[in-house]
């Protein structure tokens, strides 16, 4: 399947917004140091489609928190592919949140909110917790990721963590620690077969009801929020 065919399949009648996002990544994200220049030729397969194909893992009208969003991956492709979702992009660095807010405005993504902060900060948890799902892409080792994700999830909420080829090894190594934090039922799945050259590997987990033990927040400076 060609890139254009895959993009149309994943993003449907919003494929023009995916194209617009590609242009932002290829230009502003590179010049601002958010995407490496060598990644520019691979933006569709390696980044945009690679993230967009996880859309099938979310239920209707979910509220999704994307932690460590960086240049908007996977949150922005997910929000383009699934306009029914309400997506919160959480990112601590000002230059990245500035970029994200500009992209959200330019593409008219009214289902996206940009938050400057760390996932483990009490203020972020208080305002954006109890999410149906928490997603991420290559943010941290699985045990630390579970510690950041669990407090943001409602009981029985879902973790959708994009990982690489060692995903199963991470699950085997960190399953007990993640269970102690409050995330069970860890499984590895793949999506995107026939749409992307290399399927996207995802670790799924569920948060148990009751209390979780979050990873302590690191001190930081000011926090700004931008939403539409």
Q: Is 25 annotated as a binding residue?
A: no
Taking the C-alpha atoms of residue 83 and residue 104, their distance in angstroms, rounded to an integer, is 13
Residue 202: closest CA among 135, 156, 153: 135
Count CA atoms closer than 13 A to 93's CA, side-chain side. Answer: 12
Is 62 among the annotated ligand-binding positions?
Answer: no
- Please check if 161 is assigned to a binding site: no
What is d(CA 97, CA 195) in angstroms, rounded to the nearest whole number?
30
Rounded Cα distance, 85 and 210, in Å: 25
89 is in an annotated binding site: no
d(CA 105, CA 9): 24
Tell whether residue 157 is among the known ligand binding residues. Answer: no
How many Cβ atoms from other residues are within 10 Å of residue 205's Cβ? 27
For the residues of 79-134, what is the DSSP string, one character each? HHH-TTSEEEEEE--HHHHHHHHHHHHHHT-TTEEEEES-TT-HHHHHHH-SEEEE
Buried b (16+ CB within 10 A) or exposed e, 55-64: bebbeeebbb
Residue numbering of the annotated binding site: 68, 73, 119-120, 137
Residue numbering of the annotated binding site for S-adenosyl-L-methionine: 68, 73, 119-120, 137
């Amino acid at each position: 399947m060609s890139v254009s065919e895959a993009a149309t399949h994943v993003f449907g009648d919003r494929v023009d917004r995916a194209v617009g996002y590609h242009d932002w990544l290829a230009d502003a994200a590179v010049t601002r140091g958010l995407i490496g220049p060598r990644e520019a030729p691979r933006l569709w397969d390696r980044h945009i489609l690679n993230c967009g194909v996880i859309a099938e893992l979310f239920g209707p009208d979910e509220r999704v928190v994307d932690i460590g969003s960086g240049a908007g991956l996977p949150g922005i492709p997910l929000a383009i592919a699934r306009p029914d979702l309400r997506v919160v992009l959480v990112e601590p660095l000002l230059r990245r949140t500035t970029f994200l807010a500009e992209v959200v405005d330019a593409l008219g993504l009214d289902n996206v909110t940009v938050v400057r902060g760390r996932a483990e900060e009490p203020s972020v948890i208080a305002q954006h917790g109890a999410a149906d799902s928490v997603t991420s892409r290559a943010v941290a080792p699985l045990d630390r990721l579970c510690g950041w994700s669990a407090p943001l999830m409602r009981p029985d909420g879902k973790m959708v963590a994009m990982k690489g080829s060692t995903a199963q090894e991470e699950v085997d190594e960190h399953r007990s620690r993640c269970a102690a934090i409050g995330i069970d039922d860890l499984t590895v799945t793949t999506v995107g077969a026939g749409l992307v050259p290399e399927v996207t590997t995802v670790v799924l987990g569920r948060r148990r009801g009751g209390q979780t033990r979050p990873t302590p927040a690191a001190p930081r400076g000011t926090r700004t929020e931008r939403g539409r």
